[in-house]
Amino acid sequence: MMPSVARRTLSLVPLAVVALVATGCSSNDKAASAGSSSGGKNGGKNGAVTIKAGDKSCEVATGSLPAGRHTFSVANTASQVTEVYVYAPGDRIMGEVENIGPSTKRDLIIDLPAGEYEVACKPGMVGDGIRSTLKVTGSRATPATVDQRLRTAVASYRAYVESETAALVDTTAAFTAAVTAGDLAKAQAAYPTARLHYERIEPIAESFGDLDPLIDMRADDITEGTPFTGFHALEQMLFQKKALGADASALADGLDVNTAKLAGLVKTVRITPLTMGNGAKSLLDEVAKSKVTGEEERYSRIDLLDFAGNVDGAKYVYSALRPALQERDPALVTALDQRFPALVGLLDTHRAQRGDRGYVPGSPYVSYDALSRDEVKALAVEVDTISEPLGRISSVVTSK
């Protein structure tokens, strides 16, 4: 098992960022696919690699693959919800698929350059998972031409990510300054704004291995020898304990350092239409798993703001890719043109201003505790409705 520090046991995940800019299959991809399907060793249709995720097992049909783009067909044979990750050394996330119910199948499409990887099945969506090794060999040529619409989408999304990360650094600095000054009320009001910018780009942060846990770990992620750090450690002080502990300044300094590190790293990330599509889906999976359930912001109860941040990030990806999607799958565009406004509109019904029921200083949305069961259910249904068409983006942008 590859070493890792405390990982988010309930986080989504989130974006498969890889050092390849590709929108179609190269000659190596075609050869890989032909080899997989003709030999049948991977066990799936059209060359897909089958993964059987059980309660106590993670059966991957093959332990080796040629470099290139691969589809992993995941079947949950467990008695509980599961998730599957493909990790590079250091638990860098190459791809993930989450919220897979019992007896349910999901596909994961990712680009894999040559190297050593691990496939992790996580029954119950907790812990480091049951792992299998995967060796990828050979090389993959970058296509000579890339659809201009997709190039434009990638450039637009990169600008968005860098802008949001810069805003994250600035708003986090304002938040941590209030913490260091010991101003409880000011720090409480500054906390939501910084969280919004982080949630919009969460999959990018998750691609950098241990950086996301350092910034965004929860109390559940603490293991022996791993301190509670990041946003949620300070959130607990501010909203549950309502007192800034002796280590508050050190926690604030660490958060500043790690968000600045993230801002530097995102400038080096190579983004593809595939990783954008996977990331958009992972953002909505994150909403389903921890935002709509109220598990993320357990002390401040600003889960709806995090919900909105995830939706913002996914919607931006869709908007950037929409011209290419319109050409390749007009029906998908029609569906998402309907579903995104419906989801955003429902979320907007829970906006609040000072003096309103459930108002939280610094957040435009009511406290999660102010929602009724029916309101939570309605949000969950809307997220579930958009999930299927959103999940089709990756296959559309990688099709010929």
Give the lowest-confidence range in 13-17, 164-168, 266-270, 325-329.
13-17
Task: Determine the pLDDT at residue 55.
Answer: 96
Task: Determine the pLDDT at residue 388.
Answer: 92
The third-level CATH classification (topology) of the domain covering 27-137 is Immunoglobulin-like (2.60.40)
Same CATH fold assignment for domains 154-266 and 273-397: yes
Task: Determine the pLDDT at residue 349.
Answer: 96
Task: Determine the pLDDT at residue 220.
Answer: 85
Mean pLDDT of 20-49: 45
Task: Determine the pLDDT at residue 111.
Answer: 86
337 contact partners, CB below 8 Å, separation of at least 6: none
Domain segments of the chain: what residues?
A: 27-137, 154-266, 273-397
- Which helix or strand (DSSP H or E) is residue 191 part of? helix 184-200
Mean pLDDT of the chain: 86
Q: Are 82 and 285 in contact (CB under 8 A)?
A: no
Mean pLDDT of 31-51: 57
Identity of the amino acid at 40:
G
DSSP 35-81: HHHHH-TTBSGGGPEEEEE-SS-EEES-SEEESEEEEEEEEE-SSS-
Architecture in CATH of 273-397: Up-down Bundle (1.20)
pLDDT digits (tens, 9 = 90+) for 71-123: 999 999 999 989 999 998 877 888 888 878 899 898 888 889 999 999 999 99
Q: How many CB atoms lie within 10 A of CB 331?
A: 10
Q: Are 238 and 184 in contact (CB under 8 A)?
A: yes
The third-level CATH classification (topology) of the domain covering 154-266 is A middle domain of Talin 1 (1.20.1420)
Token pair 């995830």 in the structure block, residue: 310
Mean pLDDT of 13-23: 31
